[in-house]
């Protein structure tokens, strides 16, 4: 019986230590989430409006603009940018991003994948490790981008992608990331990054967008397009960064609750075992005293 009590005490101590860790991780993630949420909240309207403006301008221009970034080619070679995190313990965040990437390859680019023409550009250690383990062709120069998350570092990856597309190394580039909604909700999305899609203009939008361009549309597009594409990838990375901290905070909160329930159950088990041990000892004492009297 004493051995059983010792085992339960050790489990209570172990679960209590784990609970302290999960509480601390929740607090750290909450602090990081606040900063990450502020960053994406300020960035998103700017990035979305820039993208809409670019698509509208490109839709009103015929031919090849922006150095070939809007050229639609037969899809033979595909690059998929997958944004994950560097660390785990964030629920299904990384698993869902990777699952969406593999589902996209299976359902959308199956023929290209069978020919070995689907390449992954992972942004985040977890995605890099998974795709390397599964033998996917990769561009592995930028997977550690979260070790120093700045616009300049993201820009390097974006420029690499843009140059590869213009050089016809890839005919299609998709971006997979987690769009931050709130701490408990993330939307995993796959967006076409290149070629840039044209927005079909209606008579109403044409009337509303009857602008005079100085310099010309072509010069404006060639100047703005690379900067806007850099911004789109940076927005995806910031979205995923905020989603990661929200997912980790939620996961650690749930883990703390589960630890509390486990502690409650273990304490009940300990008290029952202790009561049983006391009862046994009292019974032995009473029996011994009765035997002496007899």
How far is the C-alpha of 245 from the C-alpha of 93, rounded, in Å? 10
Is 118's pLDDT higher than 90? Answer: yes
Task: Please check whether residue 274 lies inside any domain of the structure.
Answer: no
Is 60's pLDDT higher than 50? Answer: yes
Task: Please check whether residue 127 lies inside any domain of the structure.
Answer: yes
Query: Hey, what are 152's tokens?
Result: 């300049």
Task: Please check whether residue 278 lies inside any domain of the structure.
Answer: no
Of the residues 83, 90, 190, 238, which is catalytic?
90
How far is the C-alpha of 26 from the C-alpha of 269, rounded, in Å? 28
Task: Please check whether residue 89 lies inside any domain of the structure.
Answer: yes
Is 25's pLDDT higher than 80? Answer: yes
Task: Please check whether residue 290 lies inside any domain of the structure.
Answer: no
Task: Please check whether residue 70 lies inside any domain of the structure.
Answer: yes
Is 190 one of the catalytic residues?
no
Return the SS3 of 216: coil
CATH number at residue 137: 3.40.1380.10
pLDDT of residue 62: 66
Of 4-8, 89-93, 201-205, 208-212, give the range with the top mean pLDDT. Answer: 89-93
Task: Please check whether residue 185 lies inside any domain of the structure.
Answer: yes
Domain count for the chain: 1
Task: Please check whether residue 181 lies inside any domain of the structure.
Answer: yes
pTM for the complete prediction? 0.85
How confident is residue 1, by pLDDT bands cut at 50, 70 and 90?
Answer: low
Q: What is the b/e burial string over 30-57, where b = at least 16 CB atoms within 10 angstroms of the residue's CB? A: bebbeebbebbeebeeebeebbeebbbb
Q: Under 8 Å CB-to-CB from 164, ≥6 apart: which residues?
A: 79, 170
User: Domain limits at 37?
Assistant: 22-252
């Amino acid at each position: 019986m004493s051995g059983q009590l010792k085992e339960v005490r050790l489990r209570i101590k172990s679960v209590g230590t784990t609970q302290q860790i999960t509480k601390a991780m929740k607090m750290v993630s909450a602090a990081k989430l606040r900063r990450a949420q502020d960053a994406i909240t300020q960035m998103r309207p700017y990035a979305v409006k820039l993208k809409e403006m670019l698509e509208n301008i490109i839709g009103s221009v015929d031919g090849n603009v922006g150095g070939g970034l809007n050229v639609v080619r037969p899809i033979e070679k595909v690059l998929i940018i997958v944004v994950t995190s560097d660390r785990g313990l964030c629920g299904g965040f990384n698993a869902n991003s990777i699952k969406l990437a593999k589902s996209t390859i299976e359902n959308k680019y199956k023929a290209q994948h069978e020919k070995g023409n689907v390449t992954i550009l992972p942004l985040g250690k977890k995605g890099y490790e998974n795709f390397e383990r599964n033998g996917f062709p990769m561009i592995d120069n930028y997977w550690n981008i979260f070790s120093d998350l700045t616009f300049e570092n993201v820009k390097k990856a974006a420029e690499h992608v843009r140059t590869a597309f213009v050089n016809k190394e890839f005919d299609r580039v998709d971006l997979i990331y987690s769009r931050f909604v709130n701490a408990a909700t993330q939307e995993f999305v796959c967006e076409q990054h290149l070629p840039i899609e044209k927005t079909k203009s209606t008579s109403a939008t044409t009337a509303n967008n009857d602008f005079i361009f100085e310099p010309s549309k072509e010069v404006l597009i060639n100047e703005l397009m690379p900067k806007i594409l850099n911004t789109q990838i940076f927005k995806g990375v910031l979205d995923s960064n905020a989603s990661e901290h929200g997912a980790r905070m939620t996961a650690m909160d749930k883990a703390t609750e589960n630890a509390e329930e486990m502690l409650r159950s273990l304490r009940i088990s300990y008290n029952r075992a202790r009561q049983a041990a006391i009862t046994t000892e009292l019974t032995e004492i009473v029996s011994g005293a009765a035997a002496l009297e007899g």
